[in-house]
Amino acid sequence: MNYTFIKMNKQNGVVLVVSLVFLIALTAVASTLMLNTTADVKMSGASEDKVVATEEAVSAMDEVIYRQVNPATGGSNAFALPIVKFKDGNIDLKAALIKTKKNVTTVGVGLPNNKYVIEIPCPHMSQASSVQTLSCNILRVQLDKTYGRKNTSIVQVESGVAQPLLR
């Protein structure tokens, strides 16, 4: 009978060692899974920030175009300016933003592919007009918006505008 008691005491020590080994292994697996989960949460948060910034930039672009087409009292429509005003580069429209200007760094309107700064005919329209009565300013509106933890990332939105003008 003493013999079985001694054997049982030795087995208790073995069970303790085996359980400690399993505990260490399970702790390692759990910590690895938690690290991966943390990385996934950070990546999904960054992805959400980019989607929000893109939507805010598109809204700011809509506001810029609206404020040019419907200028406030005493304001002007930069889309209807003579084309020679654009020969020196983009015209800054950041002042046109009132509601959506948060973290918008630049807003400009300029000529996309008109290196000789000449009037070009309008693209096909559904509106009736006489030939050679209308010309168009084909313009590019470009908007840059920063986002991210320290505003180090940039979303850029571009929009094309064809403004018909009477000759």
Residue with tokens 């001694």: 6
Residues 23-57 pLDDT 10s? 999 999 988 888 878 778 888 888 999 999 999 99
Residue with tokens 């908007």: 143
User: Rounded to whole angstroms, what are the CA distances from 33 to 22, 36, 52?
Assistant: 17, 5, 29
Neighbours of 160 (CB within 10 A): 10
Give the pLDDT confidence score for residue 12 in this predicted structure. Answer: 63
Fill in the amino acid letter for 111.
L
Pair 140, 158: CB distance under 8 Å: yes
Tokens standing for 7?
Answer: 């054997």
The model's pTM is 0.71
Residues 3-22 pLDDT 10s? 555 565 556 677 788 889 99
